[in-house]
């Protein structure tokens, strides 16, 4: 694992964006695995800026996102499709037909998951997978549990995740209780993984993920088995890790 220590959120965002843009420059038709949440917002902003300066071309890029709330449609401003469109897709020259997320409007979980797995397989999988990390060590919506789920599945969100995500909704009761998420095996099959973390509130999760035992109780700990992981984190998020 490579660790890139950034001073703060803004430097972390720039360093994460550099790695993503290097991937696009090296392989213009790459498959990017993307994430939502507060963490990647700065990196997406930086990528959009480099695109507007003529430094990046997204025209041949394909994206597969980690997850989507079950029950939310693309035009719901809390859906992850809406987020991706707002922060990245609408700001760059990506072909929207090549941007994929699980279909939150598919009520039948089995169908939604099967279809998303088929899409992921058809893309050939991610060249680079961007991840955030939850306070409980989740990646995507793979919540702490008794086993690592392999492919796309429907999850019931943990209380901690519901609380963490309430900030994006009018109230806690508006947070969807279920989501479709890429599985751990799919995440691990990405050729390269970039996990971004910022803030002291992530310090325990980062330490447990990278310096603790590998266990489904801390889903991100499985990344210790991946041969090409870059952790880009600010000083606060790394504050509990050994030097």
Annotated catalytic, 75? no
Annotated catalytic, 67? yes
CB 70 within 8 A of CB 104: yes
By CB under 6 A, is residue 183 in contact with ligand PGA? no
Q: How many CA atoms lie within 13 A of 78 on its CB side?
A: 16
By CB under 6 A, is residue 134 in contact with ligand PGA? yes
Q: Out of 132, 176, 183, 219, which residue is the one contacting ligand PGA (CB under 6 A)?
A: 132
Residue from 65, 117, 136, 142 carrying the catalytic annotation: 136
Chain residues 38-67 in contact with ligand PGA, contact rule CB under 6 A = 38-39
Residue from 117, 127, 138, 234 carrying the catalytic annotation: 138
Strand, coil or helix: 73: coil
Distance CA(141)–CA(219), nearest Å, equals 10
CB 67 within 8 A of CB 117: no
CB 16 within 8 A of CB 128: no
By CB under 6 A, is residue 176 in contact with ligand PGA? no
Taking contact as CB under 6 A, which single stretch among the options 14-22, 55-63, 133-141, 149-157 is the one that binds ligand PGA? 133-141
Measured from the CB of residue 56, what is the shortest distance to ligand PGA in angstroms? 23
Q: Total residues at the site for ligand PGA (CB under 6 A)?
A: 7
Distance CA(199)–CA(159), nearest Å, equals 21
Which residues lie below 8 Å from residue 92, measured CB to CB, with a gap of 6+?
47, 48, 51, 56, 58
Distance CA(72)–CA(179), nearest Å, equals 9
- Between 141 and 170, how does the x/- string for binding to ligand PGA read (CB under 6 A)? ------------------------------
Taking contact as CB under 6 A, which single stretch among the options 19-27, 75-83, 129-137, 235-243 is the one that binds ligand PGA? 129-137
CB 136 within 8 A of CB 174: no
Of 160, 167, 134, which Cα lies nearest the Cα of 67?
Answer: 134
Annotated catalytic, 85? no
Strand, coil or helix: 148: coil
Measured from the CB of residue 34, what is the shortest distance to ligand PGA in angstroms? 12
Which residues lie below 8 Å from residue 216, measured CB to CB, with a gap of 6+?
144, 145, 146, 147, 148, 222
In the complex with ligand PGA, the residue whose CB is nearer, 38 or 90, is: 38
Measured from the CB of residue 138, what is the shortest distance to ligand PGA in angstroms? 6
Annotated catalytic, 65? no
Q: Out of 88, 120, 133, 194, which residue is the one contacting ligand PGA (CB under 6 A)?
A: 133
By the criterion CB under 6 A, which residues form the site for ligand PGA?
37-39, 132-134, 138
**Which amino acids are annotated catalytic?**
67, 136, 138, 143
């Amino acid at each position: 694992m490579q660790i890139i220590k950034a001073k703060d959120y803004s430097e972390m965002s720039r360093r994460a964006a550099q790695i993503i843009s290097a991937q696009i420059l090296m392989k213009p038709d790459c498959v990017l695995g993307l994430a939502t949440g507060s963490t990647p917002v700065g990196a997406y902003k930086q990528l959009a800026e480099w695109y507007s300066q003529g430094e990046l071309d997204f025209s041949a890029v394909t994206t597969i996102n980690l997850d989507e709330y079950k029950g939310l449609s693309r035009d719901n401003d809390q859906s992850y499709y809406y987020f991706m469109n707002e922060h990245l897709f609408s700001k760059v020259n990506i072909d929207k037909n090549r941007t994929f997320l699980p279909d939150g409007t598919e009520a039948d979980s089995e169908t939604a998951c099967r279809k998303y797995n088929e899409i992921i397989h058809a893309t050939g999988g991610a060249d680079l997978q961007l991840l955030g990390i939850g306070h409980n060590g989740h990646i995507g919506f793979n919540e702490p549990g008794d086993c690592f789920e392999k492919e796309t599945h429907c999850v019931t969100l943990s209380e901690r995740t519901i609380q963490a995500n309430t900030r994006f909704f009018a109230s806690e009761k508006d947070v969807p209780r279920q989501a479709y998420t890429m599985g751990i095996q799919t995440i691990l099959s990405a050729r390269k993984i970039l996990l971004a973390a910022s803030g002291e509130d992530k310090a325990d999760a980062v330490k447990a993920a990278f310096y603790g035992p590998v266990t489904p109780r801390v889903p991100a700990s499985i990344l210790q088995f991946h041969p090409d992981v870059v952790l880009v984190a600010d000083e606060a998020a790394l504050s509990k890790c050994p030097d």
